[in-house]
Structure 1
Amino acid sequence: MLFANPEPPDEDNEPFVEVDPSGRFGRYSELLGSGAVKKVYKAFDQKEGRDVAWNQVRLRKFSADPSVISRLYSEIELLTTLKNDNIIVLFHFWKDSEHSTLNFITEECASGSLRDYRKKHRHVALRALKKWSRQILEGLEYLHTHDPCIIHRDLNCSNIFINGNIGKVKIGDLGLAATVGKSHEAHSLLGTPEYMAPELYEENYTELVDIYSFGMSLLEMATMEIPYSECASIAQIYKKVTTGVKPQALNKVNDPELKAFIERCIGQPRARPSASELLKDPFLSDVADCDET
């Protein structure tokens, strides 16, 4: 039987375009999302009978630096050990040498990314933003206090996902996460320019770069505008970020407490609070109990 011993599907009944080596996971052609590094497809877990997401990284993009491929592979292996309610679950991964891809299977969040969800629901109360924020910070706290410390490095609303029926938010797209030692310092440049902390450009940073990205993500949630959308190029974004010029979207945040909270998150590294400290911030005190019913 299929569930007892998964086999590659009958194409007439199961229109999979690809099946993992074990035969458990089948990929459909439907694209759930696409970014600079990977594409995410709708897929099915034949063993457990559930929808999943099939993430695919084209390794050719990193062919100039084989060490990046090696690090990416080993870091994803580490991510299989992570267990937190606000982190997307990673079920399985493998390298397809023939097609030069790295594939990993994660849980699928039914409502998609927080960016798309926010666009669909334009009237969201401040309380909802606070609930989403608390869950994101709880996920970051777990990553940052993990041994070894894990830095996401590419946090933004396109890789924060939500199950809208219960308001559950989960951090995903951990394929570019960096694991660092006791010094909590990392030394490579990756990320999405609009959300990258200034010290990331210097390639000498700590987990607090994720707090900066979280602040920019919260700014996007509040304004439904990508930070620095007034810039016409990455070079312009780089110049503004590295010289301390804040995005124009910040001027559109009318609530003074929300604006102050965002400004704390995107402040200078030495003044930037940790995820644990932000969870204790008075701004989030009225949603301390985040369990949804």
Structure 2
Amino acid sequence: MVMMIYTVNPDDILDKDAEPFVEVDPTGRYGRYDDLLGSGATKKVYRAFDQEEGIEVAWNQVKLRCFADNEVMLDRLFAEVRLLRSLKNDNIISFYNWWTDEKDNTLNFITEVCTSGSLRDYRKKHRHVSIKAMKKWSRQILRGLEYLHTHEPCIIHRDLNCANVFMNGNSGQVKIGDLGLAATVGENHVAHSILGTPEFMAPELYDEDYTEMVDIYSFGLCLLEMVTMEIPYMECNTVPKIYKRVISGVKPLAMEKVKDPDVKAFINKCLGKPRARPSATELLQDPFFNGLDDDDQ
């Protein structure tokens, strides 16, 4: 893979009388503000502006020095960039550009920004949401998963949860993001690494022999979180306790809070044994979604 390396003097681009950017990309098109949209162990996401299109975007910045001695993680980061560039779907976050900054030793990439942040934060903010609305959100997540799972080659997200799904609250549009742990797999659709967020990881992930059905399991727990506003397995205060319950087939206590029998049955379908779980395509045809208009999101 050929990396684009740029060293830029910010004083050559930044106009103190213009937009209050703290950083500009090498082309001068994208300007980064100091507003932090989100951060993780290795990546920070800032609000930014596409001066050519006149739209707000997300500026994702990764400090490469954090991986100076970890070639595997470096390869994974650049694999995410290559993967993002290849994806085009209404329910997957769009990717616009990327570059590395040699001076600051950062990997930077520009992606679409969703106006209302993560689905987790959006749901916490809006406590009174109908089952119909949650069905609309769920259907869009499944459409994104269907795209990933039927992609050639198949793509397994491996870290689907409500913090990695994003909302445009004014339109009700939902998009899957954060594909940093995604894996492309061959014709047998089998992957082997143990990765993900423990509360949302399917039991077979721990066996290091799994398929895209792990995303269906995670999706089921996303729906559970949407309905209960509770992260699954909150009753467990350590990762080993979560692991023990998951591999034993013990459902999260939050399931007891799901009063709608159709919702509970649909979640249980997603949490079944790997071979019993429906595919994203099959779930989209489920009677659970009957009554939603075709022009609904």
Q: TM-score, normalised by structure 2?
A: 0.91
Q: Output aligned runs, 1:3-152, within 5 Å.
A: 8-152=13-157
Matched residues, number = 286
Q: Give secondary structure in 2 for the equivalent of 1:80.
A: helix
Tell me the equivalent position of 2:217: 212
- Any gaps of 5 or more consecutive residues in structure 1? 1-6
Shift of 1:14: 2.2
Tell me the equivalent position of 1:161: 166
Tell me the equivalent position of 2:286: 281
Shift of 1:95: 2.8
Shift of 1:37: 4.0
Shift of 1:61: 4.5
| Closer, same or farther: CA 248–61 of 1 in aligned 2, 3 Å | farther
Shift of 1:97: 4.1
Question: What letter matches 2:186 in structure 1?
Answer: G
**What CA distance in whole angstroms lies between the structure 2 residues aligned with 1:167 and 1:257?**
22
The answer (yes or no) to whether the contact 1:198–1:242 under 8 Å persists in 2 is: yes
Asked if residue 202 in structure 1 is aligned to residue 207 in structure 2, the reply is yes
Tell me the equivalent position of 2:262: 257
Shift of 1:285: 2.0
The answer (yes or no) to whether the contact 2:136–2:296 under 8 Å persists in 1 is: no
Question: What letter matches 1:112 in structure 2?
Answer: G
Q: Give secondary structure in 1 for the equivalent of 2:135.
A: helix
Tell me the equivalent position of 1:3: none
| Closer, same or farther: CA 195–50 of 1 in aligned 2, 3 Å | same
**What CA distance in whole angstroms lies between the structure 2 residues aligned with 1:17 and 1:188?**
38
The answer (yes or no) to whether the contact 2:193–2:208 under 8 Å persists in 1 is: yes
| Closer, same or farther: CA 240–59 of 1 in aligned 2, 3 Å | farther
**What CA distance in whole angstroms lies between the structure 1 residues aligned with 2:195 and 2:63?**
16
**What CA distance in whole angstroms lies between the structure 2 residues aligned with 1:220 and 1:135?**
16
The answer (yes or no) to whether the contact 1:57–1:102 under 8 Å persists in 2 is: yes
Q: Give secondary structure in 1 for the equivalent of 2:180.
A: helix
Asked if residue 227 in structure 1 is aligned to residue 232 in structure 2, the reply is yes
**What CA distance in whole angstroms lies between the structure 2 residues aligned with 1:214 and 1:272?**
11
**What CA distance in whole angstroms lies between the structure 2 residues aligned with 1:37 and 1:176?**
13
**What CA distance in whole angstroms lies between the structure 2 residues aligned with 1:152 and 1:38?**
18
- Any gaps of 5 or more consecutive residues in structure 2? 1-11
**What CA distance in whole angstroms lies between the structure 1 residues aligned with 2:58 and 2:28?**
15
Shift of 1:165: 1.2
The answer (yes or no) to whether the contact 1:157–1:220 under 8 Å persists in 2 is: yes
Q: Give secondary structure in 2 for the equivalent of 1:41.
A: strand
Tell me the equivalent position of 1:4: none
Q: Matched residues, percent identical?
A: 68
Q: Which range is displaced more, 79-88 or 95-104?
A: 95-104
Q: Give secondary structure in 2 for the equivalent of 1:68.
A: helix
Shift of 1:62: 4.1
| Closer, same or farther: CA 179–25 of 1 in aligned 2, 3 Å | same
Tell me the equivalent position of 2:276: 271
Over aligned residue pairs, what C-alpha RMSD do you find? 1.7
Q: TM-score, normalised by structure 1?
A: 0.92
Question: What letter matches 2:34 in structure 1?
Answer: S
1:120-162 deviation per Cα after TM superposition (whole angstroms, max 9, x unaligned): 1101111001000001000100010000111111111111111
1:188-210 deviation per Cα after TM superposition (whole angstroms, max 9, x unaligned): 22211111111122222111111
**What CA distance in whole angstroms lies between the structure 2 residues aligned with 1:11 and 1:203?**
53
The answer (yes or no) to whether the contact 2:99–2:109 under 8 Å persists in 1 is: yes
The answer (yes or no) to whether the contact 1:75–1:179 under 8 Å persists in 2 is: no
| Closer, same or farther: CA 212–64 of 1 in aligned 2, 3 Å | farther
